[in-house]
Structure 1
Amino acid sequence: MVYRFNAIRAFGVISWLKVAQTAVSVIVLPVGYYLYLQGHMTLNSLYLATGVAGFALVMLCWMSYFFRRLVGILYVNESGTVLRVAHLSFWGRRQDTYCPVVDVMPLTETKDQPQSTLMCIRQYSGKQTFYLTLRHGHIVDKERFTQVFGEVGTRR
């Protein structure tokens, strides 16, 4: 283990709750339309319910996009050739992604500043981009972290 972000579990719970909240609001929406057709609900209330469900769906997409790219733990194998990135899935569960260390772009080659809240982990192949926070996360093994990402404090 070279890096750990302890708050990733809280983000997993938030992600799961957001999925559940969106599901409930979208499932309840047909009931609202039925109640409107029966005359038990006003049109303004129906608009409000539709707006809440639509907003919940948009926020689910946005939050899921961000949470799936937020790094919880970084591992490097013993030989230093493979980086394992532990991040969240759409459902808020842990998902591991493996990539060769030679394909990982050093942080010195990115436009991010070391004091930034989020820094991008990019691959030369452009397959995926992840985000890690050095401000709120903890580098467990500085030597291995430097082998993969270069010196954090230096800029070109």
Structure 2
Amino acid sequence: MAALLRAVRRFRGKAVWERPLHGLWCCSGQEDPKRWVGSSSPISKEKLPNAETEKFWMFYRFDAIRTFGFLSRLKLAQTALTVVALPPGYYLYSEGLLTVNTVCLMSGISGFALTMLCWMSYFLRRLVGILYLNESGTMLRVAHLNFWGWRQDTYCPMADVIPLTETKDRPQEMFVRIQRYSGKQTFYVTLRYGRILDRQRFTQVFGVHQMLK
């Protein structure tokens, strides 16, 4: 995964990497997410009634999340194609047009593709693209990917977010977990490849760690 992150960053290039995102992930902390072009933000079950009207401020962004979203959708399409090809393969085998080895190879490729899809989906759905904090400092909004590779927002009450200072994770590690006292969904943030846009809000959410001073 570390090699993949480095490859994505080199592929995008410095000029592209530093350029503001567009489309799905293009938004400043002051903009209304409803205005995003091409965005797809299903309402999270955790969303509170006033979260729709309250202003949120961006304080962390992982630029390569759009690339990972594309890879997720590409992997989903590739898996679907390999699985759909199985029934015709079995039919051709029954007609004597394919050998046993060919059918076994097709089945193996489909099984491997499904396994990789499950693994990638499990991780990518928890990889954080953007973090926001509302003006009152009581609600954290996490922008991440859903199973289909599109953006999804999850709202977490600040009182339920475990500060980084209370976990064993270290900021210099590849991924830092966003955990909750309630034990619900865990997300992953990469401080090595992501960007902290507002250090004050970041420390307000995750605490003042000695590596962030």
Tell me the TM-score normalised to structure 2 length.
Answer: 0.71
Query: Does 2:75 align with 1:18?
Result: yes
Partner of 2:187: 130
What is the CA deviation profile of residues 19-44 of structure 1, one whole-angstrom value per residue up to 9, with x for unaligned ones?
A: 10010000001111011111111100
Equivalent residue, structure 2, for 1:80: 137
1:7 aligns with 2:55: no
* Alpha-carbon distance in structure 1 between the residues aligned to 2:76 and 2:111: 13
Give me the CA root mean square deviation: 1.1
Q: Return 5+ residue gaps in structure 1 as ranges.
A: none
Q: 1:47 aligns with which of 104, 107, 115?
A: 104
- 1:49 & 1:109 partners in 2: Cα distance? 48
**Is the partner of 1:41 in helix, strand or coil?**
coil
SS in structure 1 of the partner of residue 85 of structure 2: helix
SS in 2 for 1:123: coil
- Name the amino acid aligned to 1:138: R
Identity of aligned residues (%): 67
2:38 alignment counterpart: none
Q: Which runs of 4 or more aligned residues in structure 1 lie more than 4 Å from their structure 2 counterparts after TM superposition?
A: none
Amino acid at match of 2:86: L
Contact 1:105 1:122 in 2 (8 A): yes
Q: CA deviation at 1:64?
A: 0.1
Q: After superposition, what is the alpha-carbon deviation per residue over 1:60-116, rounded to whole angstroms, capped at 9, x for unaligned?
A: 000000000000000000111000000000000000000101110001111111110
1:118 aligns with 2:180: no
- List aligned pairs for 1:52-63, cutoff 5 A: 52-63=109-120
Q: Which residue of 2 aligns with 1:102?
A: 159
Q: How far apart are the structure 2 equivalents of 1:26 and 1:101? A: 42
Deviation, structure 1 residue 153: 3.0
**Comparing both structures, which one devotes a greater share of its residues to strand?**
1
Give the number of aligned pairs: 155
Give TM-score scaled by structure 1 length.
0.97
Displacement, 1:151? 1.7
**Higher normalized contact order (CA 8 Å, seq sep 6+, divided by chain length):** 1
